[in-house]
Amino acid sequence: MLVEDVSVMVVEDDAFQRRMLVRILTDMGVKKIDQAPEGNSALNMLLDRIEPIDIVISDLDMPTMDGMELIRHLGAQQSVGSVIVTSGLDPSLINSVETMARAYGIDLLGGIEKPVTQPKLGRLFKRFLLEGASKQVGESGPTFTLDEIREGIESLEFYPYYQPKVEIATGRVVGAEALVRWLHPKHGVILPAHFIPQIEEADLVDELTWNILAGAATHCRRLREHGFDMSVAVNLSLKSLTNTGIAERVMEILRGAGIEPCHIILEVTETAAISNVGHVLENLARLRMKGLGLAIDDYGTGYSSMQQLSRIPFTELKIDRSFVADAARQERLKVMVSASLDMTRKLGLKSVAEGVENRTDWELLVRLKCDIAQGYFIAKPMPYEALCEWVPNWVSPQHR
């Protein structure tokens, strides 16, 4: 998508600031611009449109309907691609509204403290142009029946794709996370959003997990045989963790693949870690005892995070992308990421930052002395064959 193809609605009660925003957008090359003085007017205009708006830029403090209420309605209508919020109020309020918007299901590009300038707005537009198209492609696609999904699992059509993990201090590729993809014979590569909910509802998670783990373990062995000193991480579901026989099943798969347990990392979400505590603790302790690495995934998004770290023998902590992506421009998030990294070092764990999207994110993590980075700035998820070609050609940002 090009800038001139992006449709924008500016919602701002101050006429002068509204005109300034329109002028900035025009100077950036935006041609499709609608204007509204407050939330009600914006909603009515959206209802009258045939084509949806790509980006709504909304002030927060407005009469009749403020920006927060507007965001709630936009989330309910699902009629807008992305939102940018602007405000002259306390920056911490913008941060809170950003979190609220995501809770309403809004694709929030970011918040801008007034005055709005072209560089500030340009950075968020760049994010939309680079990431928005891929999100739309990933979210669109065919729907599948449970029978089709079950047949795909039985036909071994689900494969691991790998997103590399890079050691920040050295720039060396040290691992990859295995992410499931459905290689559909008719529709091509299908992303998890189109099949995971049905798989979870139909109780097929275990079967899919074992297939992905077996493939990932085999690929890890081959990578190491090629001379790549890498580990591979695989996600474990809550259901799998409540099965007391999981450790033996995992070891059986690893033995079959010919890989040492120390080269496999099992990722567990915070939510999984707090459920069915007895079974979960027994399973994780046994898996760790057998030599596998354990990572707490999406750190900071669940509950009782510090409690999980105190009672589960994790070896790695993954800081969620929602903290990493905005930490360079939001002081509160930067403090949280820094504190998490400091705690990780003191606990003797490896730290992994997810969602590293650009050089700014990378350079912040360098300054904060994070151990490992993962995200689109490094590479998108790729099949095993592509990973084998990518690893020897990777050039660290330090040497670009």
Domain-by-domain residue ranges, the chain? Answer: 3-139, 146-399
Residue 303 has pLDDT above 50, yes or no: no
> What pLDDT is stored for residue 384 in this prediction?
94
Residue 48 tokens, joined:
């009258």
Residue 141 has pLDDT above 70, yes or no: no
pTM exceeding 0.85: no
DSSP code of 64? S
Q: What is the mean pLDDT of the chain?
A: 87
Taken in order 170, 221, 243, 240, the sign of the CA dihedral is positive
- Give the three-class secondary structure for 111: strand
Q: How far apart are CA 159 and CA 211, in angstroms?
A: 8
Under CATH, to which class is 3-139 assigned?
A: alpha beta
| Cβ atoms of 133 and 37 closer than 8 Å | no
Q: How many CA atoms lie within 13 A of 218 on its CB side?
A: 11
Give the residue numbers annotated as catalytic, written as ranges. Answer: 354
| Cβ atoms of 33 and 20 closer than 8 Å | no
Under CATH, to which class is 146-399 assigned?
A: alpha beta
Residue 302 has pLDDT above 60, yes or no: no
Q: Give the mean model confidence (pLDDT) for residues 332-348.
A: 92
Residue 304 has pLDDT above 50, yes or no: no
- Taking only the tens place, the pLDDT of each residue in 187-234 is 888 888 889 888 988 889 899 999 999 999 999 999 999 999 999 999
Q: Which residues pair with 235 in a beta bridge?
A: 267
- Give the three-class secondary structure for 108: strand
Residue 136 has pLDDT above 50, yes or no: no
**Residues ≥6 apart with Cβ < 8 Å to 137:** none
> What pLDDT is stored for residue 133 in this prediction?
44
| Cβ atoms of 262 and 293 closer than 8 Å | yes
> What pLDDT is stored for residue 33 in this prediction?
94
Long-range contacts of 36-39 (CB under 8 A, 24+ apart): 36/9, 36/10, 36/11, 37/11, 37/12, 37/13, 37/62, 38/11, 38/13, 38/62, 38/63, 38/64, 38/65, 38/66, 39/11, 39/64, 39/65, 39/66, 39/67, 39/69, 39/70, 39/73
Residue 105 tokens, joined:
């299901």
Residue 306 has pLDDT above 80, yes or no: no
Q: Of 380, 387, 366, 384, nearest to 171 (Cα)?
A: 366
Residue 134 has pLDDT above 50, yes or no: no
> What pLDDT is stored for residue 188 in this prediction?
86
Domains 3-139 and 146-399 share a fold: no
> What pLDDT is stored for residue 365 in this prediction?
96
What secondary structure, in 3-state letters, does 163-209 show? EEEEECCCCCEEEEEEEEEEEECCCEEECHHHCHHHHHHCCCHHHHH
Cα-based distances in Å from 119 to 53, 126, 176, 265: 22, 10, 34, 41
Residue 137 has pLDDT above 70, yes or no: no
Residue 88 has pLDDT above 90, yes or no: no
Identify the band that residue 274 occupies on the pLDDT scale cut at 50, 70 and 90.
Answer: low
